[in-house]
Structure 1
Amino acid sequence: MTTLSTHVLDAVTGTPAAGVGLVLTGPGGDVLARGRTDGDGRAGLGADLGAGPHRLAFATGEWFAAAGRETFHPEVVVAFTVTADGPAHLHVPLLLSPFAYSTYRGS
């Protein structure tokens, strides 16, 4: 089984994005975990992921609205595949700004 964590940073302010809502779904679209980033912009989603396609959705529109900031992306969804012979832990960082974002498979 594979576990998952994330770290969200606000590229404009250079600070962690605390309080971003998260939803992790599995291969059948079932919700595996929900959460929010902590004060350091991090979250461990506490789910053991089986092989197959998964989606991690970040509630960016809600987060920007709470800060009184405009955004183009109301939601960022990172789709990824877990393989049976892959790593025991996956990390999905998100670098966020109002009109762009970047992500990658971290370590």
Structure 2
Amino acid sequence: MTGISTHVLDTSLGRPAEGVPVELALRTADGWQVLGTTATDSDGRARDLPAVAAGSVVRLVFDTAAHLARTAGGDPPFFPEVSVVLTVAPGQHHYHVPLLLNPFGYSVYRGS
């Protein structure tokens, strides 16, 4: 099994994004099956998502709407949700997938 963790950094504020809901789902023949949900802590980290099997295709969904509405002066968020799909390779023990977020852009990468 492979662990999945993430964190969200608000690059426009230069600090972690606390309280962002995160969902982990598994791709199945019938669509997406939610495996777990959590929210980022005061350090912007989500560490308690469930482990997944090697060879799985999984999706992280970040519900960024509330955070961006709070920090963007009340304007409707341009990216109310960020979805990241990745394949879990055999032999990997852990994936860390950070999200760098600002009101009009985002970036994700495979972290360590």
Q: Report the TM-score, using the length of structure 1 for normalisation.
A: 0.92
Structure 2 CA distance, aligned partners of 1:5 and 1:77?
A: 15
- The list of structure 1 runs, each at least 4 consecutive aligned residues, that deviate by more than 6 angstroms after superposition, is none
Unmatched 5+ residue regions in structure 2?
Answer: none
Asked if 1:52 corresponds to 2:56, the answer is yes
Asked if 1:37 corresponds to 2:43, the answer is no
TM-fit CA distance, 1:62: 2.3
- Aligned residue for 2:85? 79
CA displacement 1:73-95 (0-9 Å, x = unmatched) = 1100011001223x200000010
User: Contact between 1:21 and 1:63, CA under 8 Å: does it hold in 2?
Assistant: no
TM-fit CA distance, 1:13: 0.7
- Aligned residue for 2:111? 106
Structure 2 CA distance, aligned partners of 1:38 and 1:19?
A: 6
Q: What is the number of equivalent residue pairs in this alignment?
A: 106
Structure 1 CA distance, aligned partners of 2:106 and 2:74?
A: 15
Structure 1 CA distance, aligned partners of 2:2 and 2:82?
A: 22
Structure 2 CA distance, aligned partners of 1:69 and 1:92?
A: 28
TM-fit CA distance, 1:69: 4.0
User: Contact between 1:24 and 1:34, CA under 8 Å: does it hold in 2?
Assistant: yes
TM-fit CA distance, 1:14: 0.2
SS of 1:63 mapped into structure 2: helix
TM-fit CA distance, 1:24: 0.4
SS of 1:47 mapped into structure 2: coil
Structure 2 CA distance, aligned partners of 1:10 and 1:99?
A: 11
TM-fit CA distance, 1:46: 3.2
CA displacement 1:12-63 (0-9 Å, x = unmatched) = 1101000000110012211111000000000113311012210000001122
